[in-house]
Structure 1
Amino acid sequence: MAGEMTGGCQCGRIRYRASVHDDEAYLCHCRMCQRATGGVSIAFKNLHKEDVVWETEPDRYASSPIAQRGFCAACGTPLTYEAHGHDRMDMTVGSFDDPWGFRPTEHSGCESWHRDWLDTSHLPASRTDQNPSLVQRWMKSVGKLPD
């Protein structure tokens, strides 16, 4: 998986193009990432800052004395983790238009790791399009299911 990839926030206000050179990504479990995303971990792709071109710059929040996080102030999508003084940054895997080619290669921030959330493949699973109540709300509202 090498080449140019695109991505952005949920509402579409912020878009980017990124030159990606490999399929490696990682999961961060630190408490700062948990609080910033509301999740138990976040999947990141580390890239050179020069390899990312923003069509619209993200909003940024000084999340600590050592870093800032890019996000969309309109819809709340987390987009980046940017440590001060580095030529690289982390892009959220979920913000890429086609995130399926990335593979996790390591864990970071394991002091806050919720191991029970890593392998949930044994739990019951259902598809969005098999939830009649949810399908009805989407169809009534916009005439289709979300992407």
Structure 2
Amino acid sequence: MSRHHSGGCQCGAIRYRIEGGLDYPHLCHCRMCQKAAGNYFMPLGFAPGKMLSITRGEPGWFQSSDPVRRGFCRDCGTPLFFDTLQSDGMAVTLGSLDDPAAFPPVSQDGIETRVPFFAALGTLPGKNVDRDDLPGGLASIASTNHQHPDHDTEAWPREGKS
């Protein structure tokens, strides 16, 4: 019996399923991935062949270069897919998986454009944030959360919720 993994965007409009595992989970530091992720790097893992299926919605696509298009949610903007058009399969963004810890990165690619302070990020102090800058603090975020849960649902948004 094949283990599957699911994932999707923040708002739940796009959901996908991967039969089996992902190949080559890695962090890409290239400038194109930085811009596409709006972050210092993009974590990606490759779903070979026909292992990936989109189970809800239809992603938008941006042709970031002649050989590559990137899939995203048109509603919330979550980056989801990296599709090398000549490849037999497609990569997913590891952070869009319901269990992003299931595929720890094995490599860092595009290190020629990695931000110079990347190696020092793990040495920064960490803290839990109370969010006292928001009326009601963290409780106000939890009680008004519109984010899709980290599992498949029959429908989304939930009836009576937007």
* Residue 108 (structure 1) aligns with: 109
Q: What is the TM-score normalised by the length of structure 1?
A: 0.85
Q: Give percent identity, aligned residues only.
A: 34
- Segments of 4+ in structure 1 off by > 2 A? 20-24, 130-142, 144-147
Partner residue, 1:96: 97
Give the alignment of 1:1-147 within 5 angstroms: 3-21=3-21, 24-55=24-55, 56-128=57-129, 130-134=130-134, 136=136, 139-140=139-140, 143=143
The alignment's C-alpha RMSD in Å is 2.4
Aligned length: 145
In 1, Cα distance between equivalents of 2:22 and 2:11: 27
In structure 2, distance between residues paired with 1:111 and 1:91: 22
| Aligned partners of 1:45 and 1:92 also within 8 Å | yes
Higher helix share: 1
Structure 2 gap segments, 5+ residues each: 150-162
Aligned letter for 1:14? I
Structure 1, unmatched stretches of 5+, are: none
Q: 1:33 to 1:135 in 2, by over 3 A?
A: farther
C-alpha separation in 1, matches of 2:106 and 2:35: 23
- TM-score, scaled to structure 2: 0.78
Structure 1 residue 124: Cα displacement? 1.4
- C-alpha distance in 1, partners of 2:41/2:21? 24
